[in-house]
Structure 1
Amino acid sequence: MSDRLCQKMHMRIFINVLCCTLCFGLLNLPARAGDALLTKDDLVQVQPGIWAAMGLKLPEANPGLPIVGANNTQNGAKLLRVVSGQNTINGFRGVLYDNRDRGHSLLEPELYPSLTHIKYSSDLVANKLDFGLAGQIFFPAVVFGNSSTAMKGGPAPRSLPRLAMTNAPWDSISSALYANNHIYVYPEHRDHDAEDRFPANWPYMIISQGSSGSDRLFLNAIAMTLAALPQDTFEFLREQRLVAPTVQMILRRNLKTVSTRADYLSGLAHPSAFDGRLIRVGRMVEMASKLRPEDIPPLVQLRVIEGDFAEAAGLANLNERLIDTPSAIGRLWRDFAWERELVVSAEDTSAPNDQPLTFEWRLLNGDPQRVTIKPQGIDRRIARIRIAWHDPWTAPIPQSKKPAERRYSRVDIGVFASNGVHDSAPAMISIDFPEHQVRQYEIGPYGEKRLHSIDYNASGRDAYFDPLLFWSAGWTDTARYHKNGTLTGWDRQHSDDVSVDFVPAEPESQTPRYEIDRSNAPVPILRYTGE
């Protein structure tokens, strides 16, 4: 069994144990307001490096504090004041706010006086448990928060969301947060500007378009949405651990670009990063205030049951299986094939209110001429998906102040469960292509599409790629085929000379022919070690 598979099995066990632990801790959760000080003594370790804050003491509630501050002029504030006067909404009972950038981009306390803010003791701050990506500490409450930070230095700078997507076990931790009523906002910081650099799209967090401070609009939207939920709806969502996916659904359903169900089931509602100018907070508050327990859609859970993305593929024999979590599946295209296949099941999805479900499988990003999705069965719980190779492409940026395009190299497929009232938040299937490679495909002797050549020399062309996932090599390979159509090897032309060498596709021994040299960071270089 591979180390990564063992790690994922351990993480699934951890998630199950954590869910039970947090639910037990919530049984007698009182209404509170103010600040909650978290110390080391409040933490119970549930896995190496991960704790549950079971000893956290919440301050006594002050019924005289308003839900919305007197000087709060944020969009949606007037409507929230109106619905709060009906005495049926939950307000901020059982909700915590977690700022993880030490006040750099803070949801100001006076905006929502009855909202409890988490404060970290000095020993936790010294160990940076209050900073950056959330997930080392799980709280016995509904939590929303933010960290307006990024990795700006080092050989592989990136936003916090891309850090989570490219570093195990943060994919599983992010999934566990989502399944335990925790939702965080992080800026995309240069990962979603002229180019979408995320290797996957997922619903586990909200990614704001922009850098520091771009998350604040979303914090206000989340705060008002949570506060506007009716008390019985909030309790149902908390018990069923559906707070985070429901917030995601409400946000995406009420963007300015989304007016119809067809819009919601398209890429308009599900970008990698969200432009804060598109939020319609008033509509989010209205939808939340009318949401009934019996109408809540489920958390879609996916599982790959067949597929030809391998644990070792391409010249470097690297893993193509980037993410395998219940609501997000990510694959990296390293193989030489023109077309790949996945069979994915949503059979593990269950309705929280015993309503019958039907499923929608929709292409959100990619070429519809190169992606085929064939749902199976009456309720469409399984789909066979075929994806052909995609060269990078550009598309207009919605609602941009001036005409602008963004470059993409990733296919996204959304899976939605409908209970007849609402469509769920999406679960995502993403296939990321090595956009720094220049590939040419041709028609083979039997009419099949097959690889003709690959230019690997990204460094020579100054083409960007993620050094944690891909590499550059100083040559171009032209495929050589046997007359029966099988690949026999490569005619390899190096960038520094005109000579062409033949390199067999299969080594005669088990000795690896290639190794990745990371000594010249930030660009990893593939070296040929064969005879």
Structure 2
Amino acid sequence: MLAHDPGMRALLCLIWLILVPVSLPTPAVAGEVTLSSADLVETGSGARIAPDLVLPAEDRNVPIVGEANTQDGARLLRHLAGRGGINGFSGILYDNRDRGHSTLDPGLFPRLSRLVYGPALVSEEQDYGLAGRILLPAVVFGNSSTAITNGPIPRSQVRLAMTSRMGQAITPRLYETNALYVYPEHRDHDSEDLFPANWPYTITSQGSSGSDRRFLVALAMTLAAFPADTFAALREAGLVAPTLQMILRRNLATVSTREDYLSGRAHPVAFEPAQIRIGRMVAQAADLRADAIPPMVRLKVVEDGFRPAAGLAGLDERLFDTPSAIARIWRSFDWDREMVVTAADTADPNARPLRFEWRLLKGDPARVQIEPLDSEGRSARITVAWHDPFSEPAPGGGEDYATRRHARVDIGVFAHNGVHDSAPALVSIAFPAHQVRRYAAAESGGAPRLVSIDYDAAARGAYFDPVLHWTAPWTDEARYDLDGTPLGWNRRWADGRERFVSFREMGNPAEPRYRIDRTAPERPQLRFDG
């Protein structure tokens, strides 16, 4: 059947890649794995796989850590390797995706296999930038110290992934197939946090080119330190990347206790390289038993107060729904929103009973309520009220910035299996920080309601992501009936014009229409054709 049905062969290869541990024979050249177009098989799901790719056997006659490697934890890793029982670098592949711009020095880890792309793949730029279009039958860690710096929508590779359909599809798939990549935030997380969401699928380093290297060293040493049976169990279950994320976050310099780990200090959208404690990561990996591996938390929205069409432009408020991250964009005029989210699909790899923690990681505790709906906390009702932009201290900003402006709520969901907490799954809600909104309580009391929105970000010089948002040259003041029913807007244009615009029920063709003009793609503008 496989000889006559390429689609079925590709599907079976993908299932094999995810579910079956691979026994890898030894190729002729140690230390390098060359990937060519001929090695790849189409899956029909936007990715290609290399089912027959062969990794070198680890040469245990050379040091596990090079002599020049003086990082914290290097002595411990040498000791563990000498004692025996750890996995080392068997079955692990390093993938550099910036053509050597910020690469892991080969001398640091002489046993580590490195991926080399064939000429045809290089010409197709399959070796560069955001990873995920190629899946490999190995445990992979890598980096691309690059960003989108030209054109109308500059952004980091992580923000590119979060705001593109392709990135939203391929990045979670890597996470579930034992691959983890590091990218710099490059101006997306300096004086202002520009990320529309937080997720566990990648590691974002605070800074630009080169800020990712310390994370590569930490990942390499942590992977090598796992006991051989633990590493095999992680690989078979597809839990290598979630476990690395848990160990990284649990051992930051800002995290000393379990409560620290369950707080926002352990789960920023971008990590300061100086906060990594590599020695502690190595020690925790070496102590992780195969029967104590924590699960990957899987989320699903059960009830959703965010809409497929909202706001004047009628855009979708659902940025993405992925297995371990859900993201929403606040576009409506409401004061508060509600969701019911479940983690019931989460299963422990050793069938241990689980209990769940839902924690506010970023946002105003007075405006976020999290109500667990069962005794184990598998599901929760989340109620979030409007957030104006807020500032927090920015460690590492130096003279450039002491605080960082945010406009997002992050909620972490953790599974505890009786031994370890899992890596977080995340629910994020992003607010349009480029709009100036005013809410106030109604005269009759009750919940606050919208008073006005200044949409003219262009006139104020306020940044907004042109992929997600728009500007408009007017301010709207809401008008309500005596019973509080919205009637419409008193609209004032920047040129001085004024008129009343009746409230628009989405989908009603009799009401005024709006369209987004993308003539200037870096600053799309909403047009009013009423």
TM-score (norm 1): 0.94
* Cα drift, residue 203 of structure 1: 0.2
The residue that corresponds to 1:21 in the other structure is 16
The residue that corresponds to 2:422 in the other structure is 424
Which of 374, 381, 385 is the equivalent residue of 1:384?
381
The residue that corresponds to 1:509 in the other structure is 509
Q: Is 1:81 paired with 2:78?
A: yes
Residue ranges of structure 2 left out of the alignment (5+ in a row): 1-7
Q: Is 1:43 paired with 2:40?
A: yes
C-alpha deviations, 1:291-345, integer Å up to 9, x for none?
A: 1011111000000000110010000000000010010000000000000001000
* Cα drift, residue 509 of structure 1: 2.7
Q: Is 1:122 paired with 2:119?
A: yes
The code of the aligned residue for 1:434 comes to P
User: Distance in 1 between the 2:10 and 2:284 partners?
Assistant: 30
The residue that corresponds to 1:521 in the other structure is 521
Which of 410, 413, 428 is the equivalent residue of 1:412?
410
The code of the aligned residue for 2:470 comes to W
User: Distance in 2 between the 1:348 and 1:31 partners?
Assistant: 38
The residue that corresponds to 1:472 in the other structure is 471
User: Distance in 2 between the 1:429 and 1:17 partners?
Assistant: 33
User: Distance in 1 between the 2:510 and 2:57 partners?
Assistant: 66
The answer to whether the Cα contact below 8 Å between 1:31 and 1:93 also exists between their aligned partners in 2 is no
The residue that corresponds to 2:140 in the other structure is 143
User: Distance in 1 between the 2:103 and 2:447 partners?
Assistant: 56
C-alpha deviations, 1:39-73, integer Å up to 9, x for none?
A: 01100110264100113232354332221112222
Question: Residues 48 and 384 of structure 1: is their aligned pair in 2 closer, same or farther, counting only changes over 3 Å?
Answer: closer
The answer to whether the Cα contact below 8 Å between 2:237 and 2:349 also exists between their aligned partners in 1 is yes
Structure 1 residues 8-407: aligned runs within 5 Å: 20-23=15-18, 26-30=21-25, 33-47=30-44, 49-398=46-395, 404-407=402-405
Question: Residues 119 and 381 of structure 1: is their aligned pair in 2 closer, same or farther, counting only changes over 3 Å?
Answer: same
* Cα drift, residue 483 of structure 1: 1.8
* Cα drift, residue 523 of structure 1: 0.3
Residue ranges of structure 1 left out of the alignment (5+ in a row): 1-12
User: Distance in 2 between the 1:63 and 1:377 partners?
Assistant: 50
The residue that corresponds to 2:4 in the other structure is none
Question: Residues 77 and 14 of structure 1: is their aligned pair in 2 closer, same or farther, counting only changes over 3 Å?
Answer: farther
* Cα drift, residue 400 of structure 1: 5.8
The answer to whether the Cα contact below 8 Å between 2:176 and 2:238 also exists between their aligned partners in 1 is yes
Higher mean alpha-carbon deviation, 512-521 vs 132-141, is at 512-521
The code of the aligned residue for 2:24 comes to L
* Cα drift, residue 516 of structure 1: 0.4
User: Distance in 2 between the 1:109 and 1:45 partners?
Assistant: 31
User: Distance in 1 between the 2:374 and 2:67 partners?
Assistant: 54
User: Distance in 1 between the 2:9 and 2:162 partners?
Assistant: 19
Question: Residues 76 and 252 of structure 1: is their aligned pair in 2 closer, same or farther, counting only changes over 3 Å?
Answer: same
Alignment: residue pair count: 517
User: Distance in 2 between the 1:112 and 1:359 partners?
Assistant: 38
Which of 440, 443, 447 is the equivalent residue of 2:441?
443
User: Distance in 2 between the 1:238 and 1:290 partners?
Assistant: 17
Question: Residues 394 and 215 of structure 1: is their aligned pair in 2 closer, same or farther, counting only changes over 3 Å?
Answer: same
Higher mean alpha-carbon deviation, 13-22 vs 375-384, is at 13-22
RMSD: 1.9
User: Distance in 2 between the 1:150 and 1:514 partners?
Assistant: 33
User: Distance in 2 between the 1:520 and 1:243 partners?
Assistant: 43
The answer to whether the Cα contact below 8 Å between 2:184 and 2:208 also exists between their aligned partners in 1 is yes
Question: Residues 15 and 154 of structure 1: is their aligned pair in 2 closer, same or farther, counting only changes over 3 Å?
Answer: farther
User: Distance in 1 between the 2:261 and 2:420 partners?
Assistant: 11
The answer to whether the Cα contact below 8 Å between 1:358 and 1:381 also exists between their aligned partners in 2 is yes
User: Distance in 2 between the 1:510 and 1:16 partners?
Assistant: 48
Aligned partner of residue 43 in structure 2, secondary structure: strand
The residue that corresponds to 1:3 in the other structure is none
Higher mean alpha-carbon deviation, 392-401 vs 319-328, is at 392-401
The residue that corresponds to 2:432 in the other structure is 434
User: Distance in 1 between the 2:384 and 2:450 partners?
Assistant: 15
The residue that corresponds to 2:451 in the other structure is 452
User: Distance in 2 between the 1:407 and 1:512 partners?
Assistant: 35
User: Distance in 2 between the 1:103 and 1:239 partners?
Assistant: 31
Question: Residues 246 and 30 of structure 1: is their aligned pair in 2 closer, same or farther, counting only changes over 3 Å?
Answer: farther
User: Distance in 2 between the 1:23 and 1:524 partners?
Assistant: 41
* Cα drift, residue 262 of structure 1: 0.5
The answer to whether the Cα contact below 8 Å between 1:14 and 1:47 also exists between their aligned partners in 2 is no
The answer to whether the Cα contact below 8 Å between 1:101 and 1:146 also exists between their aligned partners in 2 is yes
The answer to whether the Cα contact below 8 Å between 1:311 and 1:318 also exists between their aligned partners in 2 is yes
Q: Is 1:484 paired with 2:483?
A: yes
Question: Residues 283 and 18 of structure 1: is their aligned pair in 2 closer, same or farther, counting only changes over 3 Å?
Answer: farther
C-alpha deviations, 1:271-309, integer Å up to 9, x for none?
A: 000000000000000010111011111000000000110
Aligned partner of residue 501 in structure 1, secondary structure: strand
TM-score (norm 2): 0.95
Question: Residues 30 and 67 of structure 1: is their aligned pair in 2 closer, same or farther, counting only changes over 3 Å?
Answer: farther
User: Distance in 2 between the 1:58 and 1:258 partners?
Assistant: 36
User: Distance in 2 between the 1:307 and 1:19 partners?
Assistant: 32
The answer to whether the Cα contact below 8 Å between 2:189 and 2:206 also exists between their aligned partners in 1 is yes
The answer to whether the Cα contact below 8 Å between 1:392 and 1:409 also exists between their aligned partners in 2 is yes
The residue that corresponds to 1:6 in the other structure is none
The code of the aligned residue for 1:527 comes to R
Question: Residues 16 and 269 of structure 1: is their aligned pair in 2 closer, same or farther, counting only changes over 3 Å?
Answer: farther
Question: Residues 144 and 293 of structure 1: is their aligned pair in 2 closer, same or farther, counting only changes over 3 Å?
Answer: same
* Cα drift, residue 491 of structure 1: 0.4
The code of the aligned residue for 1:201 comes to N
User: Distance in 1 between the 2:529 and 2:470 partners?
Assistant: 16
C-alpha deviations, 1:319-377, integer Å up to 9, x for none?
A: 00001001000000000000000100000000111111100000000000000000111
C-alpha deviations, 1:26-48, integer Å up to 9, x for none?
A: 43224774000000110011026
Question: Residues 271 and 16 of structure 1: is their aligned pair in 2 closer, same or farther, counting only changes over 3 Å?
Answer: farther
Higher mean alpha-carbon deviation, 398-407 vs 510-519, is at 398-407
* Cα drift, residue 14 of structure 1: 13
